[in-house]
Copies of this chain bind each other. A is one copy, B any other.
Amino acid sequence: MRVGASSAPKNLAGLLVAVIKERGKVELQTIGAASQNQAIKAIAIGRGLVAPNGRDLICSPSFMDIDVNGEERTGIRLVVEFRPE
């Protein structure tokens, strides 16, 4: 899912945890420092959401080329999943 600079980290956290529970992992796509910041905050909050169940989240960042209105931009992809037990 794409993360906007104005995405609310708390809402995003709930959403990403729901997707990870259903599919095992989620891919957050960010372009620019501001949207990346929201994504990282959401992951930090998400860790708190799963902690009461004895789980933890980890993320793996990588570069990605994204087409934004016909213009090629370099973004960061954050794959988030449960920490292997």
Interface residues of A (CB under 8 A from B): 33-34, 36-37, 40-41, 43-44, 47, 56-63, 76, 78, 83-84
**Is B61 within 8 A of A59, CB to CB?**
yes
Which residue of chain B is the closest to A60 with respect to CB atoms? B58
Q: Which residues of B contact A78 (CB under 8 A)?
A: 40
15 examples of A-B residue contacts, CB within 8 angstroms: A33-B36, A36-B40, A40-B40, A40-B61, A40-B76, A40-B78, A44-B62, A44-B76, A47-B61, A47-B62, A58-B59, A58-B83, A59-B59, A59-B61, A60-B83
Q: Which residues of B contact A56 (CB under 8 A)?
A: 60
Q: How far is the CB of A14 from chain B (nearest CB, A)?
A: 16
